[in-house]
A and B are shown apart, each in its own frame.
Chain A
């Protein structure tokens, strides 16, 4: 049983305040959707939690099972059980997917996985996400299509088994088939019941496949409305206009 607690989080980029007091608690077994218009600070929340050097925390706390993640380095946060599926995974030349995944799994588990076991896990994971076997030998994200990048993020999610997963617009740029495959992966991950998901999205489409327990509307760098799945339907019908007006 894990809990991610975000308390009054303020974040700035180059002296410009982006997040203005975010409060949110995500527990194992829960799926929270954060929805909001472009520029509302959704991605800033994701990257600030993960520890991207571009973002400066000006106030607040982010606790994972009582440990303040903000005191930890990026890799320590990941080893503490946090995972960020990135919206734009970066290409790393010369580093193969298989080499990268083995290094990541080794780091997270604290010991190298048995080679045969790892190969099996990797193959099963790739099969489940309809990823071609040749993928493992390719360079990390290099020349991947948008869909391949997102599948690869979810493959990592399933291999690394974090306590809390933050999915930053994992649905963006996916066609319906890819969205279904990726959503199934997220649902397999959720089905264990001992992980929490913070799903950041602009569109309600993915929420038809990945049903949230809670929906939060993000605008102007903070949560402006909260509710259950029905809130997503309201947003689908009415859009974000009322929120952007309110904060403008």
Chain B
């Protein structure tokens, strides 16, 4: 069976199409981007190592391993598995490329009402940045189950993948995704969460390493009562391009979404891109949504592009807002700390850590919070 012939409810497909302009499992449905498209205009295509135009050779060595606590299953399945592609339809050329080229998918299932005592760990390790690799992960949290997933990306790689989080009725999923790639890595990824009735999704993205990382987290709802919280921190050093493109599609009534991404940038040609798209459809009455992006620009030569888009098609929202701010370190903060004897470098670290830490301290799971704080500390100590 070809991928395009997979049985999908036509209605689900239609929704995707209205939102994205285009969504398809078929690579041929997407033209090779030129960089003039809205979706690609910030991304330096020349550094994608051919992920976008079919020239990448699939000779990469990315190894994905899952470590699951008792009661949680992790399976490697073939492309024909019915659980693949149910929640997410590729929305751009690289995503479709990854979808059409992965060999095996990892499917993690947390059974109904299960509450595993430990997080599920997924390690994605790159063994070289010469050839490309493609991946696909599905995390299924069945009704009323509660799970924590930690995904770690490390090493050297040219990697494109799609990750589907399927959160069942009344279920809860907390995810942290750490991008701690080596300096020459290229990673293009879509993380899509589909929330059923009263489902809760908490995502924390930490992007620190890699030459080019383009991560597109998105959320859709299949029933009322879904609650999504998407947070992220990034630290962009000289020459790095770290891009986060968020999309929350409110198509059901009485759902909530909250987006808060913060980044610090330093060095020549450090480039951060944040796109925050939220759409509230006609039928999504009682939606409560807020999105925020803040950038701390530490040196000259760094650039942050921050574009919030809020499209409201109904007159009945509970709350809808967005904010975006990019600025420099505040001289008065630094002066105050220095006036207490704290040397400049340390004062600067304290302020940056405080800026990102306000977000990190909201992470409810101790282990995740410490893991994220450690990653940021390590970055600040560099």
Mark A residues whose CB is within 8 Å of B.
Answer: 50-53, 73-75, 77-79, 83-84, 86, 89-90, 92-95, 99-100, 103-104, 107-108, 139-140, 156, 160
- Sample of 7 more A-B contacts, CB < 8 Å, known A93-B354, A104-B341: A53-B331, A75-B339, A75-B344, A92-B336, A94-B361, A103-B342, A107-B341
Chain A residue at minimal CB-CB distance from B330: A90
Chain B window 332-376, contacts with chain A (Cβ cutoff 8 Å), 1 for yes, 0 for no: 110111111111101100110111111001000000000000000
Nearest opposing residue in chain B for A50, CB measure: B339
19 inter-chain pairs at a CB distance below 8 angstroms, sorted by A residue, are A73-B338, A75-B339, A75-B340, A75-B344, A78-B339, A79-B341, A86-B336, A90-B330, A90-B336, A92-B337, A94-B356, A95-B351, A100-B340, A100-B350, A103-B337, A107-B341, A107-B342, A108-B341, A139-B354
A100: chain B residues at CB < 8 Å are 337, 340, 350
Determine the chain B residues whose CB is within 8 A of the CB of A75 once the complex forms: 338-344, 347
Chain A: minimal CB distance from B292 (Å):
14
A residues less than 8 Å from B336 (CB atoms): 86, 89-90, 92, 140
List the B residue with the shortest CB-CB distance to A92. Answer: B333
By a beta-carbon cutoff of 8 Å, the part of chain B in contact with chain A is 330-333, 335-344, 346-347, 350-351, 353-358, 361
Closest chain A CB from B162 CB (angstroms): 34
Q: With a CB–CB cut-off of 8 A, which chain B residues contact A92?
A: 333, 336-337, 350-351, 354
Chain B contact residues: helix, strand, loop or mixed: helix
Residues on B with C-beta less than 8 A from A103 are 337, 340, 342, 346, 350
Q: Which residue of chain A has the shortest Cβ distance to B331 in the bound complex?
A: A53
Q: Which of B337, B338, B339, B356 has the most chain A CB atoms inside 10 A of its CB?
A: B339
Q: Are B338 and A78 in contact (CB under 8 A)?
A: yes
Of the candidates A73, A99, A160, the one whose C-beta lies within 8 Å of that of B340 is: A160
Give the residues in chain B near A53, CB-CB below 8 Å: 331, 335
In angstroms, Cα B359 to Cα A93, docked, is 11
Most A CB contacts (10 A, CB to CB) among B341, B353, B356 go to B341
Report how far A179 CA is from B346 CA in the complex, Å.
Answer: 33
Shortest Cβ gap from A13 to chain B (Å): 14
Q: A52's closest neighbor in chain B, by CB?
A: B335
Q: Find B354's partner among A77, A84, A95 (CB 8 Å cutoff).
A: A95
Whether A107 touches B340, Cβ cut-off 8 Å, given contacts A74-B335, A90-B332, A92-B333, is yes
Closest-CB distance, B112 to chain A (whole angstroms): 40
Q: Give the complex CA separation of A152 and B216 in angstroms.
A: 44
